[in-house]
Amino acid sequence: MLRDSIDDTFGLGTRFQSEHPEGPVFTPASTARGEAHISIIPYADGTGYAVDHDVPLNGAFSDLTAQFAFTWDGPALRIALYDLHVL
């Protein structure tokens, strides 16, 4: 399902696809070109963080943004991906 959303956004007929005929390929953030835009907002009640992070595709940070929630559940940290969108 995640891959389908990315293919719909960056697939056939898009400018991205014309520049990257191989389609979207995930890139490690540590090797991606450009600057990542990252937003970390702590929850007021101290239970965790809301995080937005640019997704690196095809060697560079893209316009695709992933939105996560990191919350504490006792000693465990829970991570949820809430949204993927292009700004």
* Residue for token pair 């702590």: 42
Give the pLDDT of residue 72: 93
For the chain (87 residues), the mean pLDDT of every run of 10, in chain order, is: 74 81 89 95 96 94 92 94 84
14's CB contacts (< 8 A; 6+ apart) are: none
Q: How far apart are CA 22 and CA 57, in angstroms?
A: 11
Record the pTM.
0.78
31's CB contacts (< 8 A; 6+ apart) are: 59
